[in-house]
Amino acid sequence: MKLIFVFLLASSVILTINAQPVKMYGQLKVVGTQLTGANNTSVVLNGMSFGWSCFHPRFYTAGAVSTLAKDWNCSVVRAALGVEPANGYLQDSAKSMKLITTVVDAAIKEGIYVIIDWHSHNINLKEARAFFKTMATKYHSYPNIIYELYNEPDYETWPEVKVYSIDLISTIRKIDTANIILVGSPRWDQDVHLQADDPIKGFNNLMYTMHFYAGTHKQWLRDRTDAAIAKGLPIFISESAGMDATGDGKLDEEEWNKYIQWMAEKKLSWITWSVSDKDESCSVLRQSASSDGSWADKDLKESGLKTRAYLRKIKQ
């Protein structure tokens, strides 16, 4: 009898570890400033962003998604649709859509959440509208889906980004009335204080993105984000990493740890950049890494080893 009890207890632990986040949390919603599950409990998503689809298409595979879900403990992945560069959406929409839907379909199969990210630094309203209409039509019935309208506005003002965002939110909500929508923040997703003073009204389940790179963005950005949250702005950290904002340079582990601790205390979801093998410190993979996942330690750069360690410590 004792052996049976031990076996059942062990089985329960294994099931808990391997539980699929979407089965656990279901349809996400925003309550106040907090991302929340269908059972009204707070939800914190943690995971990886794929690199630009136009630059690193070889990792846009079901195998890579499976590895991130099962080995890295990601509860969410981000599919970053390259828009303007060569081989991006504006040049080859069919190829770009195939890459994104491969990741989205794999995330749904793995039972994790997935961010469909319009990865651009510029306003392309007509093209973005058509893209999100297609995505919402295809995936509106899946609670796995999160829409990110604008990766990083750079020099656009908040009034410009706000008008753009309202148009796209309206487009999505005509088809998908429930899934979370992420709104980009001016100046590479640092100026969340502008949105806190003038948020979008009239829609549900919106969150606003903040991005940080620990080597560049210090306590001032955490303070600014705290102030925005205090004013009622729901924040989702859809891109972050431990080095300089250039994506390169040495990891600032002390500052990165401060961010990790701060996000845990504030119950903020976060994504690390990126699943790619570019010769820079923010790309977590080496060129030896297989396109289909199952990466060994030798295939990971320092940022990859550290991010995976962070993710593995998180209990779903």
Residues annotated as part of the active site: 152, 239
* Token pair recorded at residue 73: 């403990």
The helix or strand, by DSSP H or E, that contains position 63, with its residue range, turns out to be helix 62-70
| Surface-to-core class of residue 286, CB atoms within 10 Å of its CB (0-12 exposed, 13-18 middle, 19+ buried) | middle
Which tokens sit at 48? Answer: 């990886």
Nearest residue to 78 (alpha-carbon basis) of 316, 307, 259, 271: 271
- The position carrying tokens 């904002």 is 245
Widest distance between CA atoms in the chain: 67
Q: Measured between alpha carbons, how far is 51 from 45 in angstroms, rounded to an integer?
A: 19
Task: Provide the β-strand partners of residue 82.
Answer: 119
User: How is residue 148 written in tokens?
Assistant: 């990110």
Q: Residue 231: which residues within 8 A CB-CB, separation 6 or more?
A: 196, 197
Beta strands at 180-183 and 206-213: parallel, antiparallel or unpaired? parallel
Provide the terminal-to-terminal Cα distance of the chain, rounded to the nearest Å: 30
Q: Are strands 29-31 and 34-36 parallel, antiparallel or unpaired?
A: antiparallel
Beta bridge partners of 183: 208
